Structure 1
Amino acid sequence: MTILGLTGSIGMGKSTVAAMFADAGVPVFDADATVHQLQGPGGALLVAIEARFPGTTGVEGVDRAALGRVVLGDDAAMRALEAIVHPAVRAERAAFLDRHADAPLVVFDIPLLFETGGKRAVDQVVVVSARPEVQRARTLARPGMTPEKFDAILARQMPDAEKRARADWVIPTDVSLDDTRAQVARVIACTRAAQRR
């Protein structure tokens, strides 16, 4: 099995590329979706998060806006949250690998792959990238996003240029969907060809 780590900064189009891998038949572990599940209604992390950050959870799960106000810009609070979330995500990822043990290729969709040391868990890294003005426009179009929040999120992420420099593959998303899909197909084909050698 080859494990591709898929990453990219906020607004780069990573979810679109992950869906393209899935459409091509490659199993994809979505770290963000896993976090949403763990923090959603009845989620396994609610008790621990509420104990550490009182008033940030309810019947609908974690109140992401309230939690964001507490942890964004506070390194100690962010580390405390990560200490709750990351071990649970790793356990879910291990279960995913067990379910797909026979797959020749899988993708770990991990937004903070480099920032959290996730590179050690993958064989190759795919970075999704777009021009800064495209990234900003996409991100600010999201509900509830503000320029200040965008800047705070970017400050916690490795710069795009550094991610691209560390990548085995870079997939652009500021091109047509067909062009992006062709790049995804190229990564899959090259990876499978390397496995046969």
Structure 2
Amino acid sequence: MIILGLTGSIGMGKSTTAGMFMEEGVPVHDSDATVHRLYSGAAAPLIEQAFPGTTVDGTVDRTKLSNAVLGKPEALKKLEAIIHPLVRAEADRFLAEHRNNGTPLVVLDIPLLFETGGTGRVDKIVVVTASPEVQHKRVLARPGMTEEKFEAILAKQVPDDEKRRRADFIIDTGEGMESARAAVRAIIAELSPALKARN
């Protein structure tokens, strides 16, 4: 089984690209979606204990939590210490299941692949990118996003040019959906001989 790590900075089109892999029949483990589930499940009581007042009816209120940790490195570390092991456990279950089923190719969609030292968990890395202008426009269009929040998020992320340098494959989502879809198909096609060789 080949494990493809999919990553990219905020607003680069990673979720859309993950969807394209799924459309091509490649199973994807989505870290963001896992966090979302955990926020209304196993992680909620742990987060409430660490950050009192950040949950409502047993579900994490993302705005309240964001206010509690944004711009506070120690608070963020505390949150990551709760969330990262839970997400990792879910990803490990996903990988084990597909390994048992003989799935040839899977994608781990990990927003902070480089930042969390996750490169050793994957065989190849796909980085999604776009121009700074496109990124800025996309991110600032998100509900509740401000320049200050955007800058704080960017400051925590490995710069885009370094991510591209360390990638095995690059998908530029700024060139449109069809171009991105073609790039996804090309990656799957390129890995197919390797998949056959492993079987």
Quote the offset at 1:151 in angstroms. 0.7
**Counterpart contact for 2:7–2:110, Cα < 8 Å:** yes
Runs of 4+ in 1 over 2 A off after TM superposition: 194-197
Aligned residue in 1 for 2:97: 99
Aligned residue in 1 for 2:74: 76
Q: SS of 2:174's equivalent?
A: coil
| Matching of residues 128-167 of structure 1 within 5 Å | 128-167=128-167
| Matching of residues 91-130 of structure 1 within 5 Å | 91-101=89-99, 102-130=102-130
Per-residue displacement from partner, 1:40-85 (whole Å, max 9, x unpaired)?
2xx1011110111111111161111111111111111111101100
Q: SS of 2:18's equivalent?
A: helix
Q: Compute the RMSD of aligned alpha carbons.
A: 0.9
| Structure 2 portions without partners, runs of 5+ | none
Aligned counterparts of 1:97 and 1:194: Cα–Cα separation in 2: 19
| Counterpart AA for 1:92 | E
**Counterpart contact for 2:11–2:139, Cα < 8 Å:** yes
Quote the offset at 1:196 in angstroms. 2.9
If the length of structure 1 is used for normalisation, what is the TM-score? 0.96
Q: How many residues align?
A: 195
| Structure 1 portions without partners, runs of 5+ | none
Aligned counterparts of 1:39 and 1:176: Cα–Cα separation in 2: 32
Q: SS of 2:145's equivalent?
A: coil
Aligned residue in 1 for 2:61: 63
Aligned counterparts of 1:193 and 1:78: Cα–Cα separation in 2: 42
Q: SS of 1:70's equivalent?
A: helix
- Please identify which structure carries the higher helix content: 2
